[in-house]
């Protein structure tokens, strides 16, 4: 494709995603369905530039106030600044001169808001939790894309064998530092056609998400519930940890998300999973299992602000009001999930949020309201599941707390309890 056409398409896509009226990945997918002739490389490049604009929205929006023509065109030029071939053959002489002037500006002299590219409410909540150097390290991490993490399906393969297969395909990869099941790939290679993927030896899953399944640590023959299963990444991890025995219930209010589990389940080789759409947290399907379950994982609906490396639009689409509304839902879901457990059973509450109101706030309130549940130390629970250096991952209060800049995972929180006998 001619660079000028590529810049025009980038401008169109940026205009669409900056409306912020739907998740960015949905808008990008819809755009590609409208432009079926695009090749895989062009799709990747267009998506990456759109996500770069979402990450740098405040800074680049400020820089794009100078110059001429549609602002989205200038944002596209800023997004392509690392690709001289595209700019040289697609941009005008005036645009190249503007871009040179703009990129010469000292970013360090700009106001903090333009440097951190976060809404004020979110920046303030993060500054309350982190020392200044840590805050800026987190900002830098959120300004880059995430690596590709895989979880090895231990029903079908071992980590060493998968690493050998990737090396044979000349794909750089290394073991994840904490999860004994994980592999990290710096780039974004197309794995979908490789036998290790098509035959279910690996699943794409962030290391932090793998740690949630390991924290739940289900055993052979147990009754386990993944209460908010979504597309089933943690469901598949739990099923493999159970060695395909017992019964694993995957519940979610979204039939569409559960539909996405079906092909993954078929590849995995698991036959102990029972997925079911529920209307709400007090659905009759839930009530029938009360007092019968050994372990429950509640990966609660949340702001998702721990995933800004992958979903940079969330920082612009979330708000303090939305977080407050989520807290009521999180509290109700956790209370309902707790009723499923038999005496001695384990309850894990998790989010992919970095906001304490959704994390420690919910966990502390649950502990206060449920004296029949004893908090467990997440480090000890992780060590029992074979997790390396678990102490690095846990707060003084005993909760799992993952930060992208410290642990190279998405931002996750988890608290764990045991129901008293």
Q: Which residues are catalytic?
A: 352
Q: How far out from the chain centre does Cα 387 lie?
A: 20
One DSSP character per residue, 166-228 reads HHHTT---EE-SS-TTEEEESS----TTSHHHHTTSEEE--HHHHHHHHHH---TT-EEEETT
Are β-strands 341-351 and 412-419 bridged in parallel, bridged antiparallel, or unpaired?
A: antiparallel
Are β-strands 412-419 and 400-402 bridged in parallel, bridged antiparallel, or unpaired?
A: antiparallel
- Could you give the dihedral angle defined by the CA atoms of residues 225, 149, 144 and 300, in that order, rounded to the nearest 10 degrees? 0
Q: H/E/C letters for each residue in 55-85?
A: HCHHHHHHHCCCCCCCHHHHHHHHHCCCCHH
What's the number of CA atoms in the CB half-sphere (13 Å) around residue 333? Answer: 30
Specify the DSSP element, H or E, that contains 235.
helix 233-241
What's the longest Cα–Cα distance across the chain?
75
Matching residue, tokens 């690392």: 82
């Amino acid at each position: 494709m001619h660079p000028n056409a590529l810049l025009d398409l980038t401008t169109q896509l940026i205009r669409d995603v900056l409306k912020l009226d739907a998740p960015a990945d949905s808008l990008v997918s819809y755009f590609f369905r409208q432009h079926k002739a695009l090749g895989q490389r062009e799709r990747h490049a267009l998506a990456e530039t759109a996500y770069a604009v979402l990450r740098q929205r405040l800074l680049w929006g400020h820089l794009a106030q100078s110059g001429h023509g549609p602002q989205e065109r200038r944002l596209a030029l800023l997004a392509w600044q690392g690709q001289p071939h595209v700019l040289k053959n697609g941009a005008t002489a005036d645009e190249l001169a503007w871009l040179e002037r703009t990129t010469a500006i000292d970013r360090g002299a700009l106001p903090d808001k333009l440097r951190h590219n976060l809404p004020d409410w979110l920046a303030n909540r993060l500054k309350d939790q982190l020392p200044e150097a840590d805050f800026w390290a987190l900002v830098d991490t959120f300004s880059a894309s995430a690596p590709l993490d895989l979880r090895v399906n231990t029903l079908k393969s071992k980590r060493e064998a998968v690493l050998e297969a990737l090396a044979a395909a000349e794909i750089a990869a290394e073991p994840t530092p904490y999860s004994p099941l994980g592999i990290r790939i710096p780039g974004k290679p197309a794995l979908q056609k490789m036998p290790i993927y098509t035959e279910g030896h690996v699943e794409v899953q962030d290391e932090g998400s793998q740690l949630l399944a390991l924290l739940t640590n289900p055993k052979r023959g147990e009754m386990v519930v993944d209460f908010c299963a979504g597309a089933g990444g943690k469901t598949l991890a739990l099923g493999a940890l159970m060695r395909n025995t017992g019964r694993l219930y995957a519940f979610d209010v979204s039939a569409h998300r559960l539909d996405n589990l079906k092909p993954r389940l078929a590849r995995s080789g698991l036959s102990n999973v029972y997925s079911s759409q529920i209307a709400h947290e007090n659905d009759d399907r839930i009530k029938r299992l009360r007092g019968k379950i050994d372990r429950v994982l509640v990966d609660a609906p949340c702001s998702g602000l721990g995933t800004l490396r992958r979903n940079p639009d969330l920082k612009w689409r979330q708000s303090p009001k939305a977080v407050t509304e989520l807290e009521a839902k999180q509290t109700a879901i956790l209370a309902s999930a707790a009723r499923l457990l038999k005496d001695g059973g384990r309850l894990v509450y998790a989010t992919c949020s970095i906001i304490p109101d959704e994390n420690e706030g919910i966990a502390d309130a649950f502990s206060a309201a449920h004296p029949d549940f004893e908090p467990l130390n997440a480090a000890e629970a992780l060590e029992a599941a074979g997790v390396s250096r678990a102490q690095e991952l846990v707060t003084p209060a005993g909760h799992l707390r993952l930060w992208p800049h410290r642990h190279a995972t998405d931002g996750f929180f988890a608290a764990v309890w045991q129901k008293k006998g």
